[in-house]
Amino acid sequence: MRHFAKLAVAVVICAVGAAHARDDRQMHSIALAFDTKDAKERLDPGVKLYFGKLEYPAVERVIGEWKTNKKTNAVGKSDQEACQWAFLSAMLQLQKRAREEGGDAVVEIKSVYRDVPTVSETEFVCGAGNLMAGVAFRGKVVKLAP
């Protein structure tokens, strides 16, 4: 009987944990993410960011392609707020890489959440859960022609 009680408790704990676990794949607006106060204050206007198939100026040279994967604590935040924060962290990392490599733009940026590419000029993919939210992007660092 004691073994049965332990088994029943274990089943209930597993069921409760599974019911509360969440990993939603969501689409969020790139424009809204760029329109936050933090993004306006922290992003470098000297390193341009072009998503999907958006047209960009002529390129002097392609420096390389890089990926970023950023997560943030989602506790007490809406999915949108957490995803926008992860988005900003990822864009800051891409801009930093561009500056380090001598580039002044990141082009053809696409979401690659869980290594699944999603090309969009208007939206990005975010994985939102109860505790964490995350984004992943890949883009080409370039030096634009003068």
Task: List the domain boundaries for the chain.
Answer: 22-144
2 versus 123: which is more confidently predicted? 123
pLDDT at 12 over 60: no
Q: What digits encode the pLDDT tens for the residues 82-131?
A: 999 999 999 999 999 999 999 999 999 999 999 999 999 999 999 999 99
- Going from the C-alpha of 33 to that of each of 10, 15, 82, the distances in angstroms are 42, 35, 10
pLDDT at 2 over 90: no
Helix or strand or coil: residue 17?
helix
pLDDT at 14 over 80: no
Q: Say if residue 75 is exposed, middle or buried (CB neighbours under 10 Å; 0-12, 13-18, 19+).
A: exposed
State the greatest distance between any 2 C-alpha atoms of the chain, in Å, as a whole number: 80
pLDDT at 30 over 50: yes
Total-model pTM: 0.85
Residue 5: its pLDDT value, please? 47
**CATH fold for domain 22-144:** Translation Initiation Factor IF3 (3.30.110)
